[in-house]
């Protein structure tokens, strides 16, 4: 069993994806070719956002919109310490200071009720992470940001396709940043990502930063990066879009089935809470266990691959320890000790899921 089954997905979409790739090889416009705009338009239609700027990766998406905000040294960006390192990494790289605010113990997303206390005169932005494919409490976060004149950047690397109060992730705040890393809910066959915004000026800034700060060819009006997503990768995303709606509904159904089956087989097991006003596209299907290493070992012996997202909160990582005290964010510390991700992808079969649930029940005795 694969942890994330990309082979079955390719088998189902093979003709579509091959034809899309072949078309790029035939026209030869490998950088900013027609598929780039076509994909951006398709993703605008999907998310409802006015602008989509495709970029080299999810990491680059975060960097480019932070660069568009023109952070000054010492400017602070509030985020969660329980995330992939890229979130805080890009804040530092853009010249800012990450300020870690603890998570809710049941959803593992930033606790919006703790944000206000972390705001200072230097705060410029809030960067909530839609962890595992579930959006944080964006209405509350946007309201706080509005009161304090802050920008909200959703790190939606794991949540493309997710919904919050009837709107799509990536179109819930000033910026939404997603990733097309192969294992994400919408993946390409290499690195890729996108920025979404409804702000015309910020969109223009991001477009310029994406291509070395050029407002026209060889006119460099700002500092930028080489941050484009290449045409071949956009073609792969386009090749996958035809089935994406089905994949999202299958992910939601598998999440619900995991919940029901795990609840029946292992009554005491703590599962991730999903709030009533949103869904979770389960970039990872993550549960909470004690004695994680032993459980992982037993699952491995039973042929079930697992992973840990993430084993340490960022303020316990050597590179980020200076941005907090060890005892800060206790929910993040406890969660990092207990999370365990199970096999998940749209092509996971019901029989495979039963096998995972059975093996986990055995492993937990």
Ligand X SMILES: *Cc1c(COP(=O)(O)O)cnc(C)c1O
* C-alpha closest to that of 175 among 48, 65, 42: 65
Q: Is 4 in the site for ligand X (CB under 6 A)?
A: no
Pairing of strands 175-179, 193-197: antiparallel
Binding track over 255-294 against ligand X, x by CB under 6 A: ----------------------------------------
At residue 111, φ and ψ (nearest 5 deg) are -85, 105
Instruction: Using CB under 6 A, pick the residue from 134, 158, 169, 231 that binds ligand X.
Output: 158
Contact map string, positions 27 to 66, toward ligand X, x by CB under 6 A: ------------------------------xxx-------
Rank residues 162 and 363 by Cβ distance to ligand X and give the closer one: 162
Judged by CB, which is closer to ligand X: 123, or 158? Answer: 158
- Within 86-105, the residues that bind ligand X by CB under 6 A are 86-87
Q: Which residue in 193, 227, 239, 343 binds ligand X (CB under 6 A)?
A: 193
Q: How many angstroms from the chain centroid is the CA of residue 283?
A: 8
Minimum separation from the CB atom of position 135 to ligand X (A): 12
Q: Cβ of residue 169: shortest distance to ligand X, in angstroms?
A: 12
Q: Which residue has the CB atom at the shortest distance from ligand X?
A: 58
Determine the length of the chain.
365
Site for ligand X contains 129 (CB under 6 A):
yes
Compare residues 87 and 171 and give the one whose CB is closer to ligand X: 87
Q: CA 77 to CA 356: how far, in whole Å?
A: 39
236 makes contact with ligand X (CB under 6 A): no
Taking the CA atoms of the chain, what radius of gyration do you get in angstroms?
A: 20
Contacts with ligand X by CB under 6 A lie at 57-59, 83-84, 86-87, 129, 155, 157-158, 179, 181, 191, 193
């Amino acid at each position: 069993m694969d942890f994330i089954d990309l082979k079955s997905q390719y088998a189902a979409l093979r003709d579509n994806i091959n034809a899309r790739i072949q078309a790029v090889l035939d026209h030869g416009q490998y950088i900013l070719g027609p598929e780039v705009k076509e994909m951006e338009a398709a993703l605008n239609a999907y998310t409802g956002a006015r602008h989509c700027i495709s970029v080299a990766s999810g990491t680059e998406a975060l960097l480019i919109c932070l660069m568009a905000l023109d952070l000054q040294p010492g400017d602070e960006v509030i985020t969660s310490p329980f995330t992939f390192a890229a979130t805080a990494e890009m804040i530092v790289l853009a010249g800012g200071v990450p300020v870690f605010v603890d998570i809710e113990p049941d959803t593992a997303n930033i606790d919006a009720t703790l944000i206000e206390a972390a705001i200072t005169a230097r705060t410029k932005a809030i960067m909530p992470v839609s962890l595992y494919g579930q959006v944080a409490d964006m209405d509350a976060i946007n309201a706080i940001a509005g009161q304090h004149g802050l920008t909200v950047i959703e790190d939606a690397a794991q949540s493309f396709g997710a919904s919050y109060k009837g709107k799509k992730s990536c179109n819930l705040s000033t910026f939404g940043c997603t990733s097309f890393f192969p294992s994400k809910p919408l993946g390409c066959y290499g690195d890729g990502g996108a920025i979404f915004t409804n702000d015309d000026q910020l969109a223009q800034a991001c477009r310029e930063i994406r291509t070395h700060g050029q407002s026209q060819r060889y006119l460099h009006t700002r500092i930028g990066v080489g941050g484009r997503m290449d045409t071949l990768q956009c073609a792969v995303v386009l090749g996958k879009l035809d089935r994406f709606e089905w994949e999202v509904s299958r992910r939601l159904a598998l999440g619900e089935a995991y919940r029901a089956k795990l609840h029946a087989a292992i009554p005491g097991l703590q599962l991730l809470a999903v709030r009533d006003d949103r869904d979770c596209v389960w970039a990872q299907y993550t549960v909470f266990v004690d004695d994680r290493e032993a459980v992982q070992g037993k699952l491995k012996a039973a042929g079930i691959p697992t992973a840990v997202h993430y084993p340490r909160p960022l303020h316990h990582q050597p590179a980020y320890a200076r941005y907090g005290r060890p005892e800060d964010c206790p929910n993040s510390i406890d969660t990092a000790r207990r999370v365990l991700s199970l096999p998940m992808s749209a092509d996971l079969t019901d029989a495979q899921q039963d096998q995972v649930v059975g093996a986990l029940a055995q492993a937990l005795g």
